[in-house]
Amino acid sequence: MRTSLRPPTPPQRSRTVESRVAIRKHPVHPMLVVFPIAFLGVVAPADLLFLWSGLAFWAQLAAVLNGAGLAMGLVAAAVGTVDLVLIPVVRRHVSAWSHAIAAVMLLAVAAAGVWLRWPDPVAAVWPWGLLLSSVMLLLVGVAGWIGGSLSFHHGIGVAGHEGGEDRGPDAPPEA
């Protein structure tokens, strides 16, 4: 058997795709998503702290974080939807649609959590509040992971750089 001495072909690299909703070339969607990720990601631990300690503070905090995460998530979703609609190359990525679907599922579960917790945050925690917040935590991880791969591996929704040169999938974001 004969082997080839040619070097392996380099992996396909994609150019960065600038966001249509940006402030001085800084994309707004990645700036906004940190809030719902942080808020909704802490609802389940707050529920667990309530169940462990019995302090109503944790159940009330979970309700406030759930509501704030839903509100900020809706704002981030609106900005992300504008980018999805206005940038044709984004619509061709299966990951973009997967991210959108996971994010909509996350917002639906967050809305159910707000609806459940609104009348009585303390009574809502066990069992349904904890179940919803656990599903929410899982969906935060899924949507965040896919969104991060869109930015860091595919260069979508990031600030463009001068030369337009290709960047590898593991290249760090430029300042």
What is the DSSP annotation of 48-86? Answer: HHHHHH--HHHHHHHHHHHHHHHHHHHHHHHHHHHHHHH
29: tokens are: 């969607």
Please work out, in degrees rounded to the nearest 5, the angle formed at the alpha carbon of residue 38 by the alpha carbons of 140 and 156: 60
| CA-wise closest residue to 67 among 118, 3, 1 | 118
Secondary structure (3-state) at 135: helix
What confidence score (pLDDT) does residue 169 get? Answer: 53
Which stretches in the chain have pLDDT values below 70?
1-4, 6-15, 159-175
What confidence score (pLDDT) does residue 163 get? Answer: 46
Quote the CA–CA distance of 28 and 157 in Å, as a whole number. 9
Name the residue ranges covered by the structural domains of the chain.
22-152
Q: Which residues contact 80 (CB under 8 A, 6 or more apart)?
A: 29, 33, 99, 100, 103
Secondary structure (3-state) at 27: strand
Q: Write the pLDDT tens digit of every residue in 127-155.
A: 999 999 999 999 999 999 999 888 888 77
**Half-sphere CA count of 20, side-chain side, radius 13 A:** 13
What confidence score (pLDDT) does residue 92 get? Answer: 86
12: tokens are: 């396909």
What confidence score (pLDDT) does residue 164 get? Answer: 47
Contact criterion met (CB below 8 Å) for 134 and 140: no
What confidence score (pLDDT) does residue 171 get? Answer: 54
